[in-house]
C-alpha cells in the first residue's frame, strides 16, 4: 500500500487490519456477534467473543467508522464503551432496476392476498413466526398465502419449517421457493400485498427496501435496524408477538385504505435508498480529506 501511495484502507467487514499504518475506514454491517440470543453452543459463543473484541478495536482506532444503520452505530458504541473518533451513517442503496420496475406498482386489487418473505433463511430470521402468523390468519378466515424466497443455509432449519407447515396444514398455502433469479425476485415484490421480516438479528434489511420500491408495505419486528429502515412504509411489531404480527398482516392484506396509506408511504420512504444519495456521505468525507482528485 505504501509503494502504491494508498491514501486509505477501506474494510466492509466491520474490523480493521492490524499492522497497517495507512488510515483505515471501516464499514459496520454485521451485528451477529452483538446479539447474544442468536448464539447457540460453545463455538458460537467463542466466535462471537472474538468478533466483539475486533469490533471494539475498530471502534476505538479506525480513522472513520461507517455504519449502515443507526442501530449498528448504537450497538458498536455499546460494545466498545465509547464513541468512534469520527463516524458517518452510510445507508445501503438498491439497484436502479427496482425503481424502474416499480415505477407503476400494482394496486391493492391487482395483487394477490400474499405475504412475501425474502431473506437468507437462517434460524435468527424467525421464519417460524411468519408461518405461525399465517396459520393464525387462516384460522380467522383470511385467505392468505406465504412465499418464502431465498436460500436455506441450514438444512435442519429447512426441515423444521417444512414440518411446521405440514403440522399446520399449510402445504397448499406456503410456497418454499428457495433461491430465485433476479427477475423472479422482482415479480414476488410486485405481486405480494405485504412483505414480512420478523428477524431477531438484522443490521439493515435490504429486502424490505426492495419491496417498498414496488409500493409493497412491510411488517417487521422491533429487533435491529428494520424499524428505522422501513420507516412509515412499515408496521413494527414486537419480536415474537405472533398475534400482533397476524393483526398487522391481516389489516394490510384485507383493508384497502390501510394498504393504500402504507403503500404511498413506502414509495416515499424508498427514495432515501437511491445509490447517489446513500454514497454521498462517504464521497463527501473522501473529498474533504483529499482522497478524490
Q: What is the pLDDT of residues 214-265, one digit of tens each?
A: 999 999 999 999 999 999 999 999 999 999 999 999 999 999 999 999 999 9
How many CA atoms lie within 13 Å of 111's alpha carbon, on the beta-carbon side? 31
Q: Do residue 62 and residue 176 come from a single domain?
A: no
CATH code, domain with 260: 3.40.50.2000
Q: Residue 9 carries which DSSP code?
A: E
**What pLDDT sits at residue 19?**
87
Q: Do residue 106 and residue 235 come from a single domain?
A: yes
Taking the whole predicted model, whether its pTM rises above 0.75 is answered as yes
**What pLDDT sits at residue 293?**
60
Q: Do residue 213 and residue 250 come from a single domain?
A: yes
Domain count, the chain: 2
Averaged pLDDT, groups of 10, the chain, 293 residues long:
87 93 94 92 95 97 97 97 96 92 92 97 96 98 97 96 97 97 95 97 95 97 96 96 98 97 97 95 91 66
Residue 62 domain flag: yes
Q: Do residue 85 and residue 114 come from a single domain?
A: no
Residue 3 domain flag: no
Residue 52 domain flag: yes
CB atoms closer than 10 angstroms to residue 111: 20
**What pLDDT sits at residue 292?**
67
Question: Whole-angstrom Cα distance, residue 56 to residue 286?
Answer: 24
Q: Residue 283 carries which DSSP code?
A: H
Extract the runs of DSSP E, i.e. beta strands, from the chain. Answer: 9-11, 24-28, 64-67, 87-89, 114-118, 145-149, 174-178, 194-197, 218-221, 234-237
Query: Minimal CA–CA distance to 235: which of 256, 252, 255, 218?
Result: 218
What is the DSSP secondary-structure string of 142-177? Answer: ---EEEEES-BS-HHHHHHHHHHHHHTT-TTTEEEE
Amino acid at each position: 500500500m505504501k509503494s502504491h501511495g494508498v491514501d486509505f484502507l477501506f474494510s466492509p467487514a466491520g474490523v480493521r487490519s492490524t499492522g497497517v499504518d495507512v488510515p483505515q475506514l471501516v464499514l459496520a454491517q454485521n451485528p451477529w456477534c452483538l446479539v447474544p440470543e442468536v448464539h447457540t453452543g460453545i463455538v458460537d459463543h467463542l466466535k462471537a467473543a472474538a468478533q466483539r473484541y475486533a469490533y471494539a478495536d475498530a471502534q476505538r482506532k479506525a480513522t472513520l467508522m461507517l455504519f449502515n444503520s443507526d442501530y449498528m452505530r448504537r450497538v458498536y458504541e455499546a460494545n466498545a464503551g465509547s464513541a468512534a473518533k469520527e463516524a458517518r451513517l452510510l445507508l445501503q442503496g438498491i439497484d436502479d432496476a427496482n425503481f424502474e420496475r416499480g415505477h407503476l406498482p400494482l394496486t391493492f386489487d391487482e395483487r394477490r392476498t400474499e405475504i412475501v418473505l425474502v431473506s437468507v433463511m437462517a434460524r435468527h430470521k424467525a421464519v417460524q413466526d411468519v408461518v405461525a402468523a399465517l396459520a393464525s390468519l387462516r384460522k380467522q378466515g383470511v385467505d392468505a398465502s406465504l412465499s418464502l424466497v431465498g436460500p436455506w443455509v441450514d438444512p435442519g432449519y429447512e426441515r423444521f419449517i417444512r414440518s411446521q407447515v405440514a403440522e399446520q396444514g399449510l402445504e397448499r398455502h406456503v410456497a418454499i421457493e428457495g433461491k430465485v433469479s433476479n427477475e423472479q425476485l422482482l415479480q414476488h415484490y410486485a405481486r405480494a400485498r405485504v412483505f414480512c421480516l420478523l428477524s431477531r438479528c438484522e443490521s439493515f434489511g435490504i429486502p424490505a427496501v426492495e419491496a417498498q420500491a414496488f409500493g409493497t408495505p412491510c411488517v417487521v419486528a422491533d429487533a435491529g435496524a428494520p424499524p428505522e429502515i422501513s420507516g412509515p412504509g412499515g408496521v413494527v411489531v414486537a419480536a415474537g408477538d405472533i398475534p400482533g404480527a397476524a393483526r398487522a398482516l391481516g389489516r394490510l392484506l384485507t383493508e384497502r385504505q390501510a394498504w393504500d396509506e402504507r403503500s404511498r408511504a413506502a414509495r416515499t420512504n424508498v427514495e432515501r435508498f437511491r445509490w447517489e444519495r446513500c454514497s454521498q456521505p462517504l464521497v463527501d468525507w473522501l473529498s474533504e480529506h483529499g482522497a478524490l482528485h
